[in-house]
C-alpha cells in the first residue's frame, strides 16, 4: 500500500513536471506551421536502414506521395539528445533554446504526427496540457476557496445564514451543469484574448462548482463544533477566528485535499469540453480541448487518427488523479477514525 501510494505521487509529480517543462521536452514550437506537411502521420523511429543497423534511432523525412505521405529513404536523420532549436521559456521565465531531443535540419520529427496546419502534434499536446491542467487546478482552487468560505459561514453561524446558503447550494447542485456552464458562458464575450479567456473560463468553472465543497465543509464544521474541546475553548473565551483557525480548518483541510484530487480532472474535462465546443481557449494557443475540436469533422476523425493524441493525455491525467483521490481518501479516512 505504501509503495503504491509513493509510486502514484511520483507519477503525478512527474506528469506535472513534464507539462511544466513542455518547452524543453517538445522538439518544436507549438505554433510553428509547416504548410507543406498538413496532416502528416507520426514519424516512425527506425533502427535499421539501408546501410544496416544503427545504435542511434533515426527518422526519415515525410514527403507527399501517391497516397498520403511516404518516407524519403534517401537520407537518415538521427535523433540527437539535447539539441538547440526553437527558442522557448522554461517555466515561462528563463529564455532558452535547448530541447530534450531533435533532428538536424531539414529533417523534422513529429512523434504524434502533425495537424491541419502542419504543426507538431506532440509539442502541442505538451503545451496544451499546460493550459488545460492549469485551468483545472485554478478552477479547483477557486471552487474550493469559495466552497470553504461558504461552508464555514453556514456551519459556524447557522440559522438563516445557513439556510439561505444551503438553499443556494441546492440550486447550483441540482442544475445540469453543462447546460448551466453553457448558459453562463453565453453571457460572456465570445472573442477574447487567450489570457482573458483563460481567466474567465477558470472563474466560471470554479464558481459553478462551489456548492459541493461548501456542503462538505459545512458538515465537518457542524461535527467539529459540537465536540467538547471546542466547546471548552469557547468557554475559555476563544474568538471565532481562533476556533476556526485552530480547530476547524485542520479538520477541513484533509477533506479538501481529497476533493481537490477529485475536482481537478473534472475541471480539466470541463475546460476541454468548452474548448472543444469552441467556447474556450482559442487558437493559436493550444489546449487539449481546442485541439480536439478539429475532430468534429468526421472526415478528419476517420483519416487522421493520430489527432486523437490529446485524448490519450487526458485519460492518463484523469486516471492518475482518480487513483490519487482513491489513495488519499483511504489514508485520510484511516487517519480520522
Residues that bind another protein (CB under 8 A): 167-168, 170-171, 173-180, 182-190, 265-266, 268-269, 272-273, 276-279, 289, 292, 295-296, 298, 301-302, 305, 308, 311, 314-315, 318-319, 321-323, 326
Least Å distance, CB 163 to another protein, is 12
For residue 167, the minimal CB distance to another protein (Å) is 8
Q: 161 or 182: whose CB is closer to another protein?
A: 182
H-helix or E-strand spanning residue 48:
strand 46-49
What is the C-alpha separation between 116 and 304, in angstroms, rounded?
10
**Closest approach of another protein to the CB of residue 279, in Å:** 6
* Per-position DSSP letters for 68-126, written without gaps between them: SEEEEEEEEEEPEEEEEEEEEEETTTEEEEEEEEE--TT----TT-B-TT--BHHHHHH
Contact 20, 94 (CB under 8 A): no
- Other residues' Cβ atoms within 10 Å of the Cβ of residue 81: 9
Measured distance CA(245)–CA(9) in Å, rounded: 28
SS3 state of residue 47:
strand
What length is written for the chain? 337
Q: Quick one: 27 or 289, whose CB is closer to another protein?
A: 289
- Closer residue to another protein in complex, CB, 53/179: 179
Q: What is the DSSP track for 52-70?
A: EEEEEEEEEEEEE-SSSEE
Q: How far is the CB of 201 from another protein (least distance, A)?
A: 14
Tell me how far, at minimum, the Cβ of 189 lies from another protein, in Å: 5
Print burial letters for 3-31: b (CB count within 10 Å at least 16), e (below 16).
Answer: eebeebeeebeebbebbbbbbbbbbbbbe
Task: Copy the grid coordinates of residue 118.
Answer: 502542419
> Looking at beta carbons only, is 137 or 295 nearer to another protein?
295
Q: How far is the CB of 317 from another protein (least distance, A)?
A: 9
Min separation Cβ 20 and another protein, Å: 22
- If the CB atoms of residues 31 and 323 are measured against another protein, the closer one turns out to be 323
Taking the least distance from each CB to another protein, the nearer of 149 and 311 is 311
Indicate the residue among 65 and 183 with the shorter CB distance to another protein.
Answer: 183
Measured between alpha carbons, how far is 115 from 110 in angstroms, rounded to an integer? 10
Amino acid at each position: 500500500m505504501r509503495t503504491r501510494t509513493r509510486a502514484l505521487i511520483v507519477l503525478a509529480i512527474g506528469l506535472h513536471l513534464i507539462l511544466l517543462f513542455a518547452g524543453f521536452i517538445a522538439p518544436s514550437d507549438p505554433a510553428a506551421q509547416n504548410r507543406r506537411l498538413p496532416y502528416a502521420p507520426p514519424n516512425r523511429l527506425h533502427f535499421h536502414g539501408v546501410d544496416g543497423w544503427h545504435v542511434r534511432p533515426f527518422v526519415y523525412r515525410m514527403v507527399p506521395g501517391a497516397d498520403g505521405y511516404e518516407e524519403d529513404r534517401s537520407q537518415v536523420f538521427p535523433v540527437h539528445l539535447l539539441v538547440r532549436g526553437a527558442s522557448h521559456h522554461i517555466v515561462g521565465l528563463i529564455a532558452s533554446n535547448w530541447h530534450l531531443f531533435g533532428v538536424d535540419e531539414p529533417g523534422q520529427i513529429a512523434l504524434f504526427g502533425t495537424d491541419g496546419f502542419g504543426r507538431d502534434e506532440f509539442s502541442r499536446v505538451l503545451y496544451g496540457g499546460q493550459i488545460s491542467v492549469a485551468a483545472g487546478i485554478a478552477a479547483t482552487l477557486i471552487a474550493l476557496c469559495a466552497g470553504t468560505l461558504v461552508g464555514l459561514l453556514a456551519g459556524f453561524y447557522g440559522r438563516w445564514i445557513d439556510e439561505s446558503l444551503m438553499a443556494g447550494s441546492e440550486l447550483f447542485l441540482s442544475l445540469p451543469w453543462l447546460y448551466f456552464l453553457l448558459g453562463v458562458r453565453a453571457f460572456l464575450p465570445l472573442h477574447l484574448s487567450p489570457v482573458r479567456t483563460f481567466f474567465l473560463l477558470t472563474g466560471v468553472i470554479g464558481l459553478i462548482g462551489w456548492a459541493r465543497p461548501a456542503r462538505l465543509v459545512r458538515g465537518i464544521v457542524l461535527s467539529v463544533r459540537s465536540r467538547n474541546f471546542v466547546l471548552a475553548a469557547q468557554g475559555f473565551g476563544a474568538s471565532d477566528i481562533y476556533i476556526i483557525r485552530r480547530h476547524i480548518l485542520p479538520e477541513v483541510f484533509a477533506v479538501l485535499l481529497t476533493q481537490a484530487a477529485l475536482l481537478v480532472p473534472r475541471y480539466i474535462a470541463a475546460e476541454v469540453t468548452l474548448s472543444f465546443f469552441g467556447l474556450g481557449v482559442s487558437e493559436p494557443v493550444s489546449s487539449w480541448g481546442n485541439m480536439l475540436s478539429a475532430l468534429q469533422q468526421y472526415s478528419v476523425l476517420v483519416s487522421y487518427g493520430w489527432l486523437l493524441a490529446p485524448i490519450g493525455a487526458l485519460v492518463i491525467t484523469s486516471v492518475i488523479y482518480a487513483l490519487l483521490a482513491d489513495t488519499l481518501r483511504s489514508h485520510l479516512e484511516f487517519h480520522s477514525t
